[in-house]
Amino acid sequence: MQQLPFSAQLNRDPAHRGDKLKFSFEFFPPKTAVMEGRFWGALHRLARLEPEFASVTYGAGGSTRERTMRIASRITEETNIPTAAHITCVGATRDEVNKVIEGFAEAGIKRVVALRGDPQGGIGTKYEPHPDGYANAAELVAGIRKIGDFDISVAAYPEKHPESPDWDADIDNLKRKIDAGANRAITQMFFDNDDYWRFMERVEKAGITAPVIPGVQPIHNYKQISSFAGSCGARVPDWLAKCFDDLDEEPEIHSLVASALAVEQVIGLINGGVRAFHFYTLNRADLVVALSRVLGQVRV
Ligand SMILES: Cc1cc2nc3c(=O)[nH]c(=O)nc-3n(C[C@H](O)[C@H](O)[C@H](O)COP(=O)(O)OP(=O)(O)OC[C@H]3O[C@@H](n4cnc5c(N)ncnc54)[C@H](O)[C@@H]3O)c2cc1C
């Protein structure tokens, strides 16, 4: 018998019929007019997948505060996509952070991704909370809950946050964030689904019942993404590195490989029961569009 491709097996399996996958998309606030044009192009294409929400990151040390606010407000005003604005505690007093959150509410932004942020000296240096600031994400979540009725997402780490001394400390921290009022966690990128499954076992064992949405990073540019992954503690397996060996000058093959790997990762997660995904888009739509077609979702 002819072997069906993965997607066909998935779509024809009655167990999966009618299961609409849920997507959320993460963007960063564009720096220049040209980048902004590309950003809106990507957002409008991905909007046709009817995402649960689009999130807009907050630059290191609050460096994009105004841009995050402007872009998130415009998405809220001009599209019907629910918008989530990221916020961090870095280098700011509680009052300053609270004012930004109140600004989100005034702009009609009802969702927040609440983060501590990375140390101001860069990843790998010691994190020093502002003396009058929120010390960590759990405190920030509790603070946001006092301000208004936001939908709050927090970060989770299938390979453990680099600063957590051990797994117990890491999972305890996730539990504190959920107990403080977060609605869900979104994971850091990971490339080996087994890391996610092992993490989910720990999450369940700790009695955490909030959804932990896998954060999927399509590999638009292997060099850039592997370097960023390394800096935030996400392991790039050898087999994955080998897939992109010598492809710097072969953009078409690079893109085909990236697309095949994204499909493989997402199908693996779907087959394990996952129905909601958060994509780190880097303001690009193509790989997610290709993936959604293979999965038999809306044509975009
Ligand atoms: C989905 C997602 C989105 C992100 N978006 C952004 C963004 O927009 N802008 C940005 O700058 N960064 C962003 N980041 C990166 C994030 O800011 C960093 O990973 C940061 O180092 C940790 O943030 P956190 O919210 O997980 O921190 P926390 O949950 O506060 O944890 C940080 C570390 O401190 C430890 N810790 C926390 N509380 C305590 C305590 N009471 N006692 C002892 N140890 C404790 C934890 O175990 C952990 O090791 C994002 C990450 C993810 C996964």
Q: Which amino acid is at 261?
A: L
Q: Mind listing the domains of the chain with CATH numbers?
A: 18-295 (3.20.20.220)
The rounded Å distance from CA 198 to ligand 1 centre is 20
Q: Share the mean pLDDT of the chain.
A: 92
**Residues flanking ligand 1, CB < 6 Å:** 57-58, 60, 86, 88, 113, 115-118, 136-138, 155, 161, 163-164, 169-170, 173, 177, 186, 188, 215
Q: Using one digit for the tens of pLDDT, what is the confidence trace for 63-89?
A: 889 999 999 999 999 999 999 999 999
Q: In the chain, pLDDT over 70 holds for what percent of residues?
A: 92
Alpha-helical segments (H) within the chain: 6-12, 33-47, 65-78, 94-106, 137-147, 167-179, 193-205, 222-231, 238-243, 251-271, 286-294
86: helix, strand or coil? strand
If one residue of 55, 116, 159 were mutated to test the ligand 1 pocket, choosing by the most ligand atoms within 8 A of its CB, it would be: 116
The rounded Å distance from CA 281 to ligand 1 centre is 20
Q: Would the pLDDT of 277 be above 50?
A: yes
| pLDDT: which is higher, 119 or 201 | 201
Q: Would the pLDDT of 153 be above 80?
A: yes
Active-site entry in 26, 52, 139, 159: 26
Nearest to 214 by CA among 175, 168, 269: 269
The rounded Å distance from CA 30 to ligand 1 centre is 23
Q: Using one digit for the tens of pLDDT, what is the confidence trace for 239-266?
A: 999 999 999 999 999 999 999 999 999 9
Question: What is the Cα–Cα distance from 30 to 40, expressed in whole angstroms?
Answer: 10
| Alpha carbon nearest to ligand 1 atom 28, residue | 137
- Looking at ligand 1, which atom is closest to the CA of residue 156? 53
Alpha-helical segments (H) within 120-184: 137-147, 167-179
The rounded Å distance from CA 188 to ligand 1 centre is 10
The band of 298, judged by pLDDT with boundaries at 50, 70 and 90, is: low
| Alpha carbon nearest to ligand 1 atom 3, residue | 155
Residue 26 is a catalytic residue: yes
Q: For the chain, what is the largest distance between any 2 Cα atoms, rounded to a whole number of angstroms?
A: 67
Per-residue pLDDT, 12: 45
Which residues are CB-contacts of 195 (< 8 A; sequence separation ≥ 6)? 158, 159, 235
Q: What is the pTM of this model?
A: 0.94
279: helix, strand or coil? strand
If one residue of 115, 126, 167, 213 were mutated to test the ligand 1 pocket, choosing by the most ligand atoms within 8 A of its CB, it would be: 115
The rounded Å distance from CA 163 to ligand 1 centre is 9
